[in-house]
Amino acid sequence: MYLALVFCPLVGFMLAICFGRLLSPKGAALITCAFMFLSFICSLIAFFEVGLSRCPTYIKLSPWIDSELLDSSWGFLFDSVTVCMCLLVTCISCLVHVYSTGYMSHDPHQPRFMSYLSLFTFFMLMLVTADNFLQLFFGWEGVGLCSYLLINFWFTRLQANKSAIKAMVVNRVGDFGLALGIFSIFAVFRTIEYSTVFSLVPYFTGFNLSFFNLNFNLIACISIFLFIGAVGKSAQIGLHTWLPDAMEGPTPVSALIHAATMVTAGVFLIIRCSPIFEYSLDALFVVVCVGAMTAFFAATVGVFQNDLKKIIAYSTCSQLGYMVFACGLSNYSVSMFHVLNHAYFKALLFLSAGSVIHALSDEQDMRRMGGLIQVLPFTYIMIVIGSLALMGFPFLTGFYSKDVILEIAYSKYNFLGTFAHWLGVVSASITAFYSFKLLYMTFISSPNGFKSSFQSAHDAPFPMAFPLFLLSLGSIFLGYISRDLFIGLGTPFWNNSIFILPEHINTIDAEFIPLYIKWLPFFASIAGAVISVMLYHLFSCALFNLYSNNTFFNNVYTFFNKKWFFDRLQNEFLASFLLKLGYGVTYKIIDKGLIELFGPLGVSKNTYNVSKQVSLLQSGLINQYAFLMFVFLVIFLVINVFSPILVSFIDLQVYFVLLLSLLINNLYLTKK
């Protein structure tokens, strides 16, 4: 059954991609949905067995790489963290599959779309159920690939192509970090199995990793490498640029991959590697800083975006920041709780946004909407629920995890905790601000769109509305229901799958912080929401005048609207430099230069030339031979006699350089 959980989506993918034409779009959709539902049922049972009954399952399927030095197998580890993620992935994926049957019903490539969704789910399940780092990496790259394929689904659009390539390339930077982390884990622990590595970490705490005569703390190094991987996948600040651009893909993709599941893979990695991160304060410091800054940065950018999906994308980025800094503050279970909750309300938001876009025949710009509450009342309700859950309105799902994250940040009582707490509170307020701006501008303000798009607007059909309804139930109740299970004091749910150093635990301190600090996030979000509605309802003209007449405010607006100029920074400083480096140095000098010179072409050419020159020495003149014999005799005699004196001047490296220069010189000469 556990294997069926993982492999059902793969079967669905195979059937849909191979026999999509035979099955007809409807048939392919039905098959992939059915297999996804099967997988979902399996993960429900797995959640009951592993999570609630506390029986971790370990399946060793077959050896993969078996070479004495590196043993890696296809193994599946189902512990509490894994089953949580499995349940989340299969649930959201199932709903998105159903939603896609409605959303993509007019697309001629629907079977391909459904099969990619299934393939993505398979890779994601592979990622979360892996029992070693290599298999995790397999799933990690697989979801990256599916992300690329799905962003690029409408492959005739140039923007989609560009975004897909950008997602691939930016993720590659993070993957490089993850690969380095796995390499260094293998170099030190001589294995990549979770169980062995995690149990050996305490032994290696004092060790150093030497690199070019520089010493780094081993555990810190490994953690930071793994964290770079998480930064790439979870769109933390610096490598976040691909996430908003990924919104070029179809909306169900954004909901499944770029909101609920794939982007949380980085957070999952940190939670999974908690035994490594816990032993390095430096790494935790970096994690908290990056997470908190991402939360704040993404929130500020979100306010000034006009694209419906981009706002939600930035809010995802911001929420990922919350999850990451909760990890850095050693509250992995809270972070996991937020991952789960966030998935429901963010998927709800995205899918409802998709419903709006679908209704307005692919209009995404918020400035050309407005007044949709008359046309799309159901979608309006769904977005309201999603937004309230997102801003942490009391007793909705987001409230339970978000407030706990802020409380534990405050109760760290150090610089880092306070830093994260204040950035978190400010971002919470900004989150409420842009959520209500989105609501107001899309649904409540006077209609600004084209008449034609309003005329054909219709509320979501059943296959789209049903997942929305289920997700809204999740967004309302799940936090309340599962709070005690996941983050209640002394909950036995996690069952050793998460490791926290005893001195880092501060869940009890979080209960004793001042009351006004506990209330602060609530009031901040309410204030944000109220200010937003006030501004856009009463003072929108004044706001517009402020933007257009005042250069200062115009500059501020441009700064945030252009995403703090991160893209420009990366393009002009990093990308062009790296492109030049890549073309000039690594391609021209190393690949076509040095490797060709000393590699296949150079060696064959040189052998030919040198042998030609050597054969010229044989002139057939006896006196020349005699002369050479004499000369070399004298040379060897001299070396023999004077070797005790000369030996101190002989340096093999110099000879090597001489030899090299001779070779190069020789090539140069023969070229002319």
Partner 1 sequence: MLIDQSKFLFVAITLFSIGLCGIMLNRKNIIIMLMSIELMLLSINYSFILFSVFLDDVIGQLFALFVLTVAAAESAIGLAILVIYYRVRGTVSIDYINLMKG
Binding footprint of partner 1 on the chain (CB under 8 A): 615-623, 626-627, 630
Residue among 603, 606, 604 at smallest CA distance from 614 = 606
3-state SS of the chain: helix, strand, coil percent to 5? 80, 5, 20
Per-position DSSP letters for 323-342, written without gaps between them: HHHHHHTT-HHHHHHHHHHH
583 phi-psi bin (left φ>0, alpha ψ -120 to 50, beta other):
alpha
651 SS3 class: coil
The first and second tokens of residue 273, run together, are 């590697």
The CA distance from 557 to 188, in Å, is 49
123 CB contacts (<8 Å, ≥6 apart)?
138, 139, 142, 143, 145, 146
Residue among 239, 270, 414, 425 at smallest CA distance from 333 = 270
Amino acid letter at 211?
Answer: F
The CA distance from 324 to 230, in Å, is 9
24 phi-psi bin (left φ>0, alpha ψ -120 to 50, beta other):
left
291 CB contacts (<8 Å, ≥6 apart)?
236, 320, 321, 322, 323, 324, 325, 326, 327, 328, 420
Strand stretches in 87-221, DSSP E:
208-211, 214-217
Half-sphere exposure of 128 (CA within 13 A, CB side): 32
Task: Give 200: exposed, middle or buried? Use CB within 10 Å, 0-12, 13-18, 19+.
Answer: middle
The first and second tokens of residue 112, run together, are 């391909």
Q: Which residues pair with 216 in a beta bridge?
A: 209
Backbone phi and psi for residue 193, each to the nearest 5 degrees, phi listed first: -75, 135
The first and second tokens of residue 7, run together, are 């492999």
In the complex, least distance from residue 640 CB atom to partner 1, rounded to whole angstroms: 19
Residue among 358, 351, 362, 561 at smallest CA distance from 465 = 351
Place of tokens 């599962």: 482
396 phi-psi bin (left φ>0, alpha ψ -120 to 50, beta other):
beta
The CB density around residue 331, as the number of other CB atoms within 10 Å, is: 27
The first and second tokens of residue 289, run together, are 């800083």
505 close to 498: Cβ distance less than 8 angstroms: no
Backbone phi and psi for residue 170, each to the nearest 5 degrees, phi listed first: -65, -40
Per-position DSSP letters for 220-285, written without gaps between them: HHHHHHHHHHHHHHTT-TTS-THHHHGGGS-HHHHHIIIIISGGGHHHHHHHHTHHHHTT-HHHHH
Place of tokens 């799940």: 478
423 close to 296: Cβ distance less than 8 angstroms: yes
Residue 409 to residues 230, 517, 545: CA-CA distances in angstroms?
Answer: 21, 11, 39
Q: Which residues pair with 73 in a beta bridge?
A: 63
> Is the CB of 589 or the CB of 626 nearer to partner 1?
626
